Amino acid sequence: MAVMMMKILLLGLALTPVLLVSEAMDIHQLKQLATRDNVTCILVFGDSSVDPGNNNRLPTTIKSNFHPYGKDFVNGLPTGRFCDGRLATDFIADAFGFTNVIPAFLDPNIKKADLLHGISFASAGSGYDDLTANLSTLYKLGARRLVVVGVPPLGCMPLVKTLMSQKTCVESYNELAFSFNAKIKEKLVIMKKTIGLKTGYLDCYNIIQDAVIHPLKYGPPVLLSGFLHEKLETDIVYVLKMACRFNRDYKGCCATGIIEYGDTCKDMSTCDDASKYVFWDAVHPTQKMYQIIAQQGLQSLDERLFF
């Protein structure tokens, strides 16, 4: 019954995302469009970037249901998310008005009602499967819209830079990710023509890369009265931006931040404020970065995805 109600399908990947379309949509229109077009549920498929805890119940060593993961989640609870808090898919579901967190399908506490709003089948370490796998079946069951999250700039991950002994992003890895994303977009065009799904692409590659290259852009907006002395106003803006910007060392927040993730991050010390970091561990983004990915991705959605 839950699948029959489903109208949006989100596929996440290795680290989770800007829709490459000409007409952007105001994020505040989302709930209205969802209601108007009977968009009732989000199904998530992917790996650790969108796994909210399925791996807690699977026979695999790839887990994060321990501290310090979940440090900034409700009550500091480690849920199995490879992050300090919520994932991009949680923020997306929240924006649609469905739920503030998407539960794991294997969560023993899940209720049937939860399936009607959003559920994640993602499993850490799974990566991309064939994009066409089972989509025909899902289409028959009610799936009409598919949004695929592209591959991030792999060469900017702290772990990759450490393994390649580089302080800056490893271009060869980034080029590989960029090429793979181009093939994803080509596949989406084919699927749209052959299956009839309405498709969208969320470009986490450029969003994460921009945050790494331009960390000062990611502080909050600064509103001043206009009556301050010009020099004082400039100083205030500078201090606020410096306090809220992303950290420039580009390490992860957990432990040394250059190689730890999963088990090697277990019970390790962390930075004081993860919101100043792009990466939580040496592979995965922070809750703050996931929020930015969700916000920018949603703002780039085209209304044609709903028509």
Residues forming beta bridges with residue 252, ordered by sequence position: 279
123 is catalytic: no
Q: Which of 117, 203, 284, 300 is catalytic?
A: 284
Query: Would you tell me how many other CB atoms lie within 10 Å of the CB of residue 61?
Result: 9
User: For residues 113 and 282, what is the distance between their CA atoms, to the nearest angstrom?
Assistant: 36
User: For residues 65 and 52, what is the distance between their CA atoms, to the nearest angstrom?
Assistant: 10
Tokens 């505040």 locate to 28
Overall residue count recorded for the chain in this entry? 307
- Provide the CB-side half-sphere exposure for 251 (13 A, CA): 13
Tokens 């004081």 locate to 272
67 is catalytic: no
User: For residues 134 and 105, what is the distance between their CA atoms, to the nearest angstrom?
Assistant: 17
Q: How does strand 198-202 pair with strand 145-149?
A: parallel
Q: Which of 49, 72, 281, 300 is catalytic?
A: 281
Q: Which of 48, 64, 126, 275 is catalytic?
A: 48
117 is catalytic: no
Q: Which residues are catalytic?
A: 48, 281, 284
